[in-house]
Amino acid sequence: MRPRHDIRILVRRHRLVWGMTQQELADRVGVTRQTILSIEKGKYTPSVALALRLAEVFDVSVETLFQLNKGDNDV
């Protein structure tokens, strides 16, 4: 369940910019708030389908939300 630590997750940053709560984002992509929380904390790596839905909500590419880490993790 714990993701590899070489992935930088920027979901929270985009969610805050869009002014969404975790629950609102969860409702938009069809998961529970716990799932969004776990993704943002780096405890869970979403499936490709969920990553694509998240990118669609924020109108960005998947690579913008999930980046291979070359430094400290953003979470």
Partner 1 sequence: MSEPEAPKRWRPTRTNLVAGGTVIAGFLLIEVNWWFFLLVAAGTFGPGILRELGWLRDKDEFQRQAAHRAGYHAFLTVGLVAFLLVAFFRTGGTMEHPHRLVTFFLALLWFTWFFSSLLAYWGVQKTAARILIAFGCVWLVFTIISNLGPEWTGWAALLLHPLLAAPFFVLAWLSTRWPRVAGILLLTVSVLFFLLVFMRVFARTGGPGLINSSVTFIFFVGPLLASGVALLCTGKKSECPEDGEEVPMTRK
- Contacting positions for partner 1 (CB under 8 A): 1, 12, 15-23, 30-35, 37-38, 41, 43-44, 46-47, 50, 75
Cβ closest to partner 1, residue 59 vs residue 71: 59
Helix axes 22-29, 33-40, angle to 10 degrees: 110
Q: Is 67 helix (H, G, I), strand (E, B) or coil?
A: strand
Helix (H, G, I), strand (E, B) or coil at 57: helix
Q: In angstroms, what is the minimal distance from the CB of 67 to partner 1? A: 20
What is the smallest separation between the CB atom of 20 and partner 1, expressed in angstroms?
A: 6
Q: Closer CB to partner 1, residue 19 or residue 71?
A: 19
CA distance linking residue 15 with residue 49, whole number of Å: 18
Answer whether 13's CB lies under 8 Å from 64's CB.
no
CB of 63 to partner 1, least distance (A): 20
